[in-house]
Amino acid sequence: MSRFANIKIKGCLYILVLLAFSLLTAYCKKKEEVQPQLNISTSDVAFLPDGGISNITVTSNGKWNTKNPADLWLQVSQTAGSEGNTELKLTAMPNLTGVSRSAVMVVNSDNGQARRVTISQTSTLYPSYNTSPKAPDQTGMGSTAVQLAAKMNLGLNIGNTMEAQGGETGWGNPRITESYVKFVKQTGFNAIRIPCAWNWQHLSDEQKATIDPVWLNRVKEVVKYCVDNDMYVLLNIHWDGGWLDKNINSTQKDAVNAKQKALWEQIATTMRDFDEHLMFASANEPPAENAEQMAILNSYHQTFVNAVRATGGKNSYRVLVVQGPGTDFEKTNNLMNVLPTDQIPNRMMVEVHNYTPSQFTILMDGDASWGKMFYYWGTGHHSATDPSRNATWGEESEISRLYALMKAKFVDKGIPVILGEYAAFRRTNPNYLPADMAKHNESINYWTTYSTQQAIKSGLKPFFWEQGTVLDRRNNKVLDQGIVNAIISGAK
């Protein structure tokens, strides 16, 4: 090899070494220039009025720091940290101010990065009434919802009484007595539903949603009549002036949940020592027409569950009942796809009502634009002399179909269903008397028998709507033996 060729090779090797060194230097320099990093696991933290704890994670490749922007109502577990993942615990105090509040926490890193976290808390419109919570007490509360449902055979409403405008006797019925409860049991029922108003003329302080203690004690007295006589009791917040039913919307959601919480804390605390004979029901017939409204209604039911459970004692295990949208079979089947979260498993029931077909069951004041009155219902009970008043829909097959929906949706899955109301009323208005009264009365009895029978067959627990027209509450006598016989016959 010539000297010239050797020099050329050495020159090439030198160039290669320089190139490699340059590449290595560039790589190391690039590696040293690590991009600054600062991330927060969430940019929004929302607290309920009761306060609570929420955790967020700060991820950084450098040191970081922050300040507590709301130290009067918010605690932050630490305000500085180093690289890596750091979990911050945010603790909010109960909000009793009557207005919502919020703050922005800014997290800064020493590498020039900054992130914002918005922290908000809704307000409570009313004071907390859960002032004396008790430790859970399972004494006398051993039954699951399924086991408790099995103990109930026939139920009866004490309607148009405790939910009446003007108080217990406001709609013409007498005060409930223990002798009447015993008479109901003697007639063949072992469960009573007490529709009850609380907000409607029974608040001693409307601004604070404080229930009059005299009314609370009166309702407790009626419940005791039932429990002392081995009767199962379903106590609800009924229509109650419509404060809940008229406000299933996003605008009023916070206000309704606040009142739901306040009322149920008071009711549950007052009734806490009754054993499993007493059940609570969130509402009556709360309307919801779509998924958005159903989600809001579910929030009202969730508030009910949380408020009752928080009072502790026997309420920690009490069976609770939530209503389907409008207590309508179809809507409940289509929209009620989740139930409230409950810390105690298998202690919840669902409630629906049956007045199908409404043109037959409800006492209409004449024909309506949406349908004419029916006087006759069911196979073998149509009138040949008054055919224009025969039911044209909602007969046996429809009632069986509706009950079957609830059986498949809930009962077969271990969730009992309460048929909280059902009834068909006889026509007594002289302006709308059926031409064939015998067939009409037969139809009413048959509807009652069939509805009771099919409810029990489908696993639903029936509570007949009685408002003082079937049983004489003053003299403890049967006023309508045909209805009573029809219910008993249906149960058999």
Mean per-residue pLDDT, 65-76: 91
Q: Quick one: 113 and 154 in the same domain?
A: no
What pLDDT score was predicted for residue 1?
A: 52
Best CA proximity match to 233, nearest among 284, 283, 280:
280
Share the mean pLDDT of the chain.
92
Residues in the chain: 492
Q: What is the CA radius of gyration of the chain?
A: 33
Q: Determine the Cα–Cα distance for residues 113 and 50; give it in Å rounded to an integer.
A: 34
Q: Determine the Cα–Cα distance for residues 383 and 440; give it in Å rounded to an integer.
A: 8
Q: Quick one: 200 and 343 in the same domain?
A: yes
Mean per-residue pLDDT, 199-223: 97
Q: Determine the Cα–Cα distance for residues 347 and 336; give it in Å rounded to an integer.
A: 17
Q: Of 56, 87, 121, which marks where a domain is finished?
A: 121
Q: What 3-state DSSP class applies to 305?
A: helix
- Does 9 map to a domain? no
Best CA proximity match to 321, nearest among 286, 347, 296, 300:
347
What pLDDT score was predicted for residue 386?
A: 96
Q: What is the pTM of this model?
A: 0.78
pLDDT at residue 30 tops 50: no
CATH number, residue 115:
2.60.40.10
pLDDT at residue 319 tops 50: yes
Query: How far is Cα of residue 329 from the mean position of the Cα atoms in its chain?
Result: 16
Q: Quick one: 304 and 266 in the same domain?
A: yes
Higher pLDDT, 20 or 186: 186
Best CA proximity match to 330, nearest among 289, 297, 369, 284:
289
Run of H or E residues at 334? helix 329-335
pLDDT at residue 361 tops 90: yes
- Does 341 map to a domain? yes
Q: Determine the Cα–Cα distance for residues 98 and 222; give it in Å rounded to an integer.
A: 35
pLDDT digits (tens, 9 = 90+) for 249-285: 999 999 999 999 999 999 999 999 999 999 999 999 9
Best CA proximity match to 490, nearest among 454, 440, 442, 441:
454
Q: Determine the Cα–Cα distance for residues 287 and 332; give it in Å rounded to an integer.
A: 10
Is 354:421 a contact under the CB 8 Å cutoff? yes
CATH number, residue 326:
3.20.20.80
Q: Determine the Cα–Cα distance for residues 241 and 199; give it in Å rounded to an integer.
A: 7
Is 403:455 a contact under the CB 8 Å cutoff? yes
- Does 251 map to a domain? yes
pLDDT at residue 492 tops 60: yes
- Does 337 map to a domain? yes
What pLDDT score was predicted for residue 458?
A: 98
- Does 102 map to a domain? yes
Mean per-residue pLDDT, 334-354: 98
DSSP string, 222-273: HHHHHHHTT-EEEEE---GGGTTGGG-STTTHHHHHHHHHHHHHHHHHHTTT
pLDDT digits (tens, 9 = 90+) for 95-143: 866 567 889 999 999 888 899 999 988 776 899 999 999 999 999 999 9
Query: How far is Cα of residue 465 from the mean position of the Cα atoms in its chain?
Result: 22
Total domains, the chain: 2
Q: Quick one: 195 and 50 in the same domain?
A: no
Residue 231's contacts (CB-CB under 8 Å, 6 or more residues apart) are 181, 184, 185, 189, 190, 191, 192, 277
**pLDDT band at residue 228 using 50, 70 and 90 as cut-offs:** very high
What pLDDT score was predicted for residue 112?
A: 85
pLDDT digits (tens, 9 = 90+) for 382-422: 999 999 999 999 999 999 999 999 999 999 999 999 999 99
Q: Of 121, 136, 170, which marks where a domain is finished?
A: 121
Mean per-residue pLDDT, 361-379: 95
What pLDDT score was predicted for residue 163?
A: 98
DSSP string, 278-291: EEEES-S-----SH
CB environment 132-148: b (16+ within 10 A), e (fewer): ebeeebeeebebbbbeb
Q: Quick one: 78 and 218 in the same domain?
A: no
Q: Quick one: 263 and 376 in the same domain?
A: yes
- Does 131 map to a domain? no
DSSP string, 369-389: TTB----B-STT---SSSGGG
Is 36:61 a contact under the CB 8 Å cutoff? yes
Q: Quick one: 408 and 451 in the same domain?
A: yes
Q: Quick one: 153 and 61 in the same domain?
A: no
Using CA atoms, how far residue 14 sits from 26, 94, 184, 418, in Å, is 18, 75, 110, 92
What pLDDT score was predicted for residue 21?
A: 55
Q: Quick one: 347 and 487 in the same domain?
A: yes
Q: Quick one: 53 and 185 in the same domain?
A: no
Using CA atoms, how far residue 137 sits from 153, 248, 277, 318, in Å, is 27, 34, 15, 10
Its domain, for residue 59, covers 38-121
Q: Quick one: 188 and 329 in the same domain?
A: yes
pLDDT digits (tens, 9 = 90+) for 331-341: 999 999 999 99
DSSP string, 106-169: EEEETTS-EEEEEEEEPPPSS-----S-B----TT----HHHHHHH---EEE-TTTTTSTTSTT
- Amino acid at site 202: H
Mean per-residue pLDDT, 435-447: 98
- Could you tell me the two tokens for 478? 């049967």
- Does 13 map to a domain? no
pLDDT at residue 28 tops 90: no
Q: Quick one: 344 and 278 in the same domain?
A: yes
What pLDDT score was predicted for residue 448?
A: 98
What pLDDT score was predicted for residue 165?
A: 94
- Does 96 map to a domain? yes
